[in-house]
Amino acid sequence: MLQNLIKKWWFKWLVLGLAVRVILMPITLHQDLWGHSSVAYFFSEKGILNPYEYLSNLSPDHPLVKNIGVSDVFIYPPLAYFTLGVFRILVKPFTDPGFVPFIWSNLASVYSFPGFNWHLFLYKFPYLFFDVGLAFLLSSLFSEGNKKKLVFILWMLNPVTLYTTFMIGQLDLLPTFFTVLSLVLAKKGKFAWSMISLGVGGSYKIFPLLFVPVAAFVFGKNFKEKVMYLLVGVAPFILVTLPYITSLAYREMVLFSPKNQKMLFMNLPVSGAEGIFTFVFILTLIYFYSYYTKKVINLGVYFLTILLLIFSVTHYHPQWFLWVTPFLFWELSESNFKHGILVLTLFLAWLAITLFFETSLTIGLFSPLNASLRDLRNLPGLSEVLSRYTDVFRLKSLIRSVFAAASLFYIYRLYKLRGVVK
């Protein structure tokens, strides 16, 4: 059996990609991992099903509240924490139950905990299954052997996944997996399941819910079908959210979290107190277009359009770029790198923006390897260094402008190739 696996075209790329991930997992750390690990701990060790109320009722003297905080840390929908809790149960036999409580009280000296690197590895380990699964999902979107191979290699070796998932330890891979699964199911004609997959993805992070209307309008042949698919798409999110909707803590931490409203920061003033939200304005145009157009537009193009819109008008966090990465690779493979320069521009702009963030998201990630990287106060970031010579905010604005321009032209090209624009 092993010999048959070795002969598969994807085997060596899978092994190479996994090797890089396995190396990075125990030697990189971002503090966000402690928040995820804490909620998973409450689920697996204490059976807490409503972490929001539990966290909001903790004493101000609780070490978690004092040293890590609550209000801006635990901001994800319940399915995200249930999944992390199940992950925690799976690796529980191989971990020390005292590790997470130790973190709360000894944040600065957590590196001294016995088996510290092993715990880092185990807490990121479950993501490997979704990561590899996503590589095969992308590959399944193509029938041509060279394109299947290309998109698989791009995914297994791409730096965004390595950075976001296996260095920072963020959970953005989970909703991204379900958005790609939705595209695969749509290709197979399983439209209802495709909508459900978007709803499940939106139950991890909100962004897949933005795809629900366009998917419903593409799938539905008439008004009744479009509405039906809309309801199917939002049903998983509603079912997961409903038990918590009466919780004030849940509404404040998740539904109305400031991070969920970042897309509303850019607006065109129409009075001293009112304005037109740029993101909502353009997104609504996309929705109307997808509803009324008679042209057949690939669902992946709609997804890519909405994601590029998000990143063009939003002060996004570096790990969010993982959302769009599989769709960029899908389009590159489909078009034989016809838009390679545009995609390269987007990636370089993302990298530049990422380097301008605090050092905890750059060189500080390697703190498990080097004690000098553990006190971030002694690590001036790129923004601090360049601010001595130039206006950093102007420089970052220039980079974001280039990103937005590349995105707009990319979208134009995608629709032009499909005969939508002349």
* pLDDT value for 207: 94
Per residue in 107-156, pLDDT (tens digit) is 888 999 999 999 999 999 999 999 999 999 999 999 998 999 999 999 99
CA atoms of 28 and 168, how far apart (whole Å) = 7
* pLDDT value for 2: 63
Per residue in 91-114, pLDDT (tens digit) is 889 999 899 999 998 888 899 999
Q: Which of 176, 232, 235 is nearest to 204 (CA)?
A: 176
**Residues 238-253, mean pLDDT to the nearest whole number:** 86
Cα distance from N-terminal residue to C-terminal residue, the chain = 53
- Is residue 157 over pLDDT 70? yes
Per residue in 276-317, pLDDT (tens digit) is 999 999 999 999 999 998 887 899 999 999 999 999 999 888
Residue 184 CB neighbours (<10 A)? 18
Consecutive H or E run containing 267? strand 267-269
Confidence class of residue 56 from pLDDT cuts 50, 70 and 90?
confident
Q: Which pTM was predicted?
A: 0.94
Helix (H, G, I), strand (E, B) or coil at 143: coil
Write the Ramachandran bin of 307: left for phi over 0, alpha for psi from -120 to 50, otherwise beta: alpha
